[in-house]
Every structure is written in structure tokens, then in C-alpha cells.
Amino acid sequence: MPAFYLEALTVLLGLGLLMFDAFGPATNKKLVGVAAVLGLTTILAASFFAVGPASAPDAYWAKWSMWQFYQLDGTAQFFKAFALVCTILVILMAIDYRPMLVKFTSEAGREAGTGEYYALPVLACAGMMWMASARDLVSIFVALELVTITFYVLVAYMRRNVGSLEAGVKYLILGALSTGFLVYGIAWIYGMTGTTNLAEISLRLANTAQPVPLVPLLFGIALVLVALGFKVGAVPMQIWIPDVYQGAPSPTTAFLSVGSKAAGFVVLIHFLEPFLAHELTRGPVLTILGLLAAVTLLFGNLAAIPQSNFKRLLAYSSIAHAGFLLLALATGALGTATSLAAWQVVSFYLATYLLMTLAAFFILNLVRIQRGAEDLAAFNGLGKTNPVLALALTLVMAALAGVPLTAGFVGKFLVFQLAVVAGLWWGVVIAFIGVAAGFYYYLKVVRAMYWNAPADGQKPIATPPITRVVLIVLCAAIVIFGVIPMPVLRAINWHSAAAAQVVADPR
């Protein structure tokens, strides 16, 4: 099956869900969410059979000119599957979030205003999948805007909630600003190289007979990095994250934290590839990435320490994790037969981040709906009223902090290893400070669950079947991939023998 069928099918699914919502029953929109999950699961299964022109050179579609904008490789396949899995989990979370959606969007006894909430993530998923294969700055821009415009609606979806509307306005204004930076940066790069195709940009940089002017090119690169920094939550473009994360519906926040961030990083990886491959631009670009990584790590981790709202804590945590990912890219590691490349470490880190963050948001979802609050005080005594749920959240917080034998530890370990091999000792020191701060603010949640007494008359939290099954799967994966990371490493197309050597021997 041609790879671009995946995006086409996803868009058709999204449009079909909108039609189903328009003509289906107004009293119960759960079926729209279930249909979205089933459709995306089918597309996920089909993604394993997708091929590009290199695998079918004689096919009629392999001759199309679109392949200069779209490419299927190991990175693209991994992130397509990542986007699909993330969207499936977010929609499952949204199904259990229905009481809150109904409260702020519909009349009592009706769900007429909630159906689109299950269709919009599917359209955003199509944009993320296209971003994974985009190899031209124009196609990257179009896919990125499809995702961003969809999030404008999702963030402000609870129209009767002032916090959601405020978050939507902030995200719209700053998102539009970042789009301006992106377009302006693309224009500068096109002016200096005469092309927007990333492969051709690499050829122009390698042409010593007609050297590309360095300073104007770096200006264009910096503008694009500012725009992508907004998408991934890097300092100083992170100012929207705490307020938007807190005001948006919880499934939207989870989608922003995982799906949007992953999409931003896959674009960043593709965008940086030609500039890191040539000595003309490699040094300055790595310097910019190093500065972004340093300030993002420090700000995200230190600003999370005083937070008393769990959603805001996860927002600053998201910024901190963006710092770790940027540090991996700042090493410029290209990979060898026995070592990971920077993009592979980023891919592994994002895969584990998906498990941990979505598990945290599933639990937050329950607390928000049944206890009516998102503050850390709402988790007081959870270890007594809901021991199993408290144990799951303890595991998630430990993984986010980087406790050994969890998937979060392996991801951070690989980032530290890249920094040590690259000689970025300043990065190692700053990352260590970040990890130490993380242990404090993540374990504040554990303290609230086990050391603080529950409020008088506080009832146990009921766990719906969907959330229960998802939490079991996510928590099991956090432990399994923390002990046996090979399945994820194989998924990012890295030779198993090399992976085994890195994990077993950090030297």
C-alpha cells in the first residue's frame, strides 16, 4: 500500500466522523469516539504494510512528483505509528472525560456539542503523520498549520469555561506569531539557497563553487528554530505552556504535551539534517541548540518546584523534558555501529515520554472529574482511599523523575551518554541539576498521596473500565521498557547488537 494512503485514510476518517456526529444521535456521542478509535487502530495496522517508491519502483504512483515533498523511511514510519497510538489514547481519555465536556459545552441530558471533540484529534493526527514524512519546507509548513489550527479549536473547546477560552486566545495569538517566524525563516532560507527542498538545500551547502552566504542563512535558520521552539516548548518560546495547559481540557493538554511536542521534534530533526551535515553551518547550529537546551532545562525544572497545581506541574515538566531532548540534538551525534544517533535517542525518549505523560493525565482525568480539582491537595490521602491508583501514579512519577528500572531512566541515561561522548560537560552538569530538581517536584505528588491525610468524607475514586485497562497497559510498558528497552530500539531501526552493547556497557 502506498504510504500516502495512510494520511488520506486518516483525513477521510476525520470527515466521516464529523458526518456521523452531524447525523447521529445527539444524546450520546460516545459512539463517535469509539468509531474514531476503531478507525485509527485499523490505520495503525495498515501502517506496517505501507511502502514508499524505493520499495516499489515500478508502481505507477512511484513516478509521481509528490515524492520530492514526501518520503517514507524508518523515522517517518516510527513517528506515524507514534502519532496514531498517541491519538488513540487521547480519544480514549476523551471518552471518559465526557462529563466535563457536557458540563461546559452542552445542555443537560444532551451531548450535541461534544461529538467534534473526537473527530478533531483525528485530523490533527493526519497532520502529524504528514509532518513525519515531509521533506520540503513548504509541505512541513502546511502539515504544521493543519495541526496548529486543529489545536486552536481543541484548546478553547469548553466554551462555557473561562479558563479554556482564555487558554484558546493565548494559544491563538502566540501560535500566529510563531507561524510568522516560520514563514519569514523559510523565505530567508529560500532566498539564500534557491530551494525549499531539504535534500537540495544539502546539495547547495556542499557546492563550494558557489558558497551560500552564511550570516543571512543562519538568520533564516534562527527564525525557523524560534517557530519550532514554540511547538516543542523551548525557552524563551514557552510562555504559553503553563496557562494553556491549565486552561485546556485535560485530553487536549495531554495531546499538546505528547503529540504536538513529538511532531515538533520530528520536524526539527528533518530540518536540522542538512545543516548538521555540513561544516559551514554545523558549528553555529549546534551552538544555538546548546543554548536552547541549557536555558530550557534550567527554567523547566526550577520553575516546576513551587507549583501546587498538578496540571501546571506537568506543564513545566513538559518544558524540562524538551530541554533533555534538545540536549540530545545539541550533541550532533550521527551514530555508529555501536552508538545511537541523536535522532534515535530523541525517538526513544519521546516513546517513553508518551507512556509516562499519558498515564499521568489519565489519572489526573479521574481526579478532576470526581474530586473537582487539579491541585496537589486533591491527591491527598489517595494512598489510603485508592491504593492501586496511588501505586500507578507513584510509578509514573518515579519514571518521569528517572528512577532506575523504569523507561524514563533509560531515556535520560541515553541523553547523558550522548552528552558525555560529545564532551558537553556543561550539559551534563545542567541536566544533573534538572534531574535533582525533578526528584523533588515529582515526588511531591507521592508525598501528598501517602503522607497527607484525605479530606473529611472524601470517597474513593471510581476507575472506569477504559481508564483501568489503559493504565494497566501503560504502567506495564513503563516497567518492561525500563528493564528491556530493545523492542523500542528495534522500532527505531537500530541494530539489536549495537543497542545491547550501549545498554549493557555505557562506555
CA–CA gap between residue 139 and residue 17 (Å, rounded): 25
pLDDT of residue 391: 93
Percent of the chain that is helix, strand, coil (3-state, to 5): 75, 0, 20
Indicate whether 57 pLDDT > 70: no
pLDDT at position 335: 65
Residue 469 structural domain: 303-507
| pLDDT score at 92 | 93
Find residue 2's DSSP bridge partners. 51
47-51, 83-87, 188-192, 386-390 — which is least confidently predicted? 47-51
Residue-wise pLDDT tens digits, 435-473: 999 999 999 999 989 998 877 667 788 888 998 999 999
The mean pLDDT of 338-359, rounded to a whole number, is 88
**The pLDDT of residue 505 is above 50:** no
Preceding peptide of 236 cis, ω within 30°: yes
Write down the pLDDT at residue 59: 66
- pLDDT(230) > 80: yes
Q: Which residues contact 469 (CB under 8 A, 6 or more apart)?
A: none
Judged by DSSP in three states, 400 sits in helix
Average pLDDT over residues 145-154: 91
Q: Do 7 and 129 contact (CB within 8 A), yes or no?
A: yes
Residue 61's pLDDT band (cuts 50, 70, 90): low
Q: What pTM, to 2 d.p., does this model score? A: 0.90
Instruction: Answer whether residue 361 is part of any domain.
Output: yes
Q: Is residue 457 part of a domain?
A: yes
Sorted by sequence, the CB contacts under 8 Å of residue 109 that are 6+ apart come out as: 27
What is the average pLDDT across 186-205?
Answer: 89
Q: Is residue 500 part of a domain?
A: yes
pLDDT of amino acid 495 = 34
In this prediction, residue 457 carries a pLDDT of 67
Assess if residue 262 is contained within a domain. Answer: no
Place of cell 484548546: 155
Does residue 298 fall inside a structural domain? no
Q: Encode pLDDT of 249-295 as tens digits.
A: 989 999 999 988 998 899 898 899 888 888 888 889 999 999 999 99
Phi, psi of 53 (to 5 degrees): -65, -25
pLDDT at 356 over 80: yes
List, in sequence order, the alpha helices (H) in 48-161.
74-96, 98-105, 116-133, 137-155
Which band of pLDDT confidence, cut at 50, 70 and 90, is reported for residue 60? low
| Residues 157-189: tens digit of each pLDDT | 888 888 888 888 989 998 889 899 999 999 999
Average pLDDT value for the chain: 86
Please list, in sequence order, all residues whose beta carbon lies within 8 angstroms of the beta carbon of residue 144, skipping any fewer than 6 positions away: 127, 131, 182, 231, 263, 267
398's CB contacts (< 8 A; 6+ apart) are: 406, 408, 442, 446
Average pLDDT over residues 290-316: 92
Q: Which three cell numbers stand for residue 88?
A: 488513540
**Cα distance between residue 496 and residue 485, in whole Å:** 10
Regarding predicted confidence, which is higher, 110 or 428? Answer: 428
In a domain, 280, yes or no: no
> What's the confidence (pLDDT) of residue 55?
66
Q: Tell me, yes or no, whether 251 lies in a domain.
A: no
H or E, element range at 220: helix 214-232
Task: Look up cell 498515564; give the residue.
Answer: 359
Among the listed residues 117, 133, 127, the one whose alpha carbon sits nearest the alpha carbon of residue 147: 127
Q: What is the pLDDT of residue 507?
A: 39
Residue 240 has pLDDT above 50, yes or no: yes
pLDDT score of 149 more than 70 = yes
Output the nine-digit C-alpha cell for 185.
525563516
- 249 three-state secondary structure: coil
Question: Which of the four pLDDT bands, split at 50, 70 and 90, describes residue 62?
Answer: low
pLDDT at 108: 64
**Based on the structure, what is the number of domains in the chain?**
1
Residues 6+ apart with CB under 8 A from 279: none
What secondary structure does DSSP assign to 271-311, as a single string? HHHHHHSSHHHHHHHHHHHHHHHHHHHHHHHHHHTT--BHH
| 105 lies in some domain | no
Q: How confident is the model at residue 152 (pLDDT cuts 50, 70, 90)?
A: very high
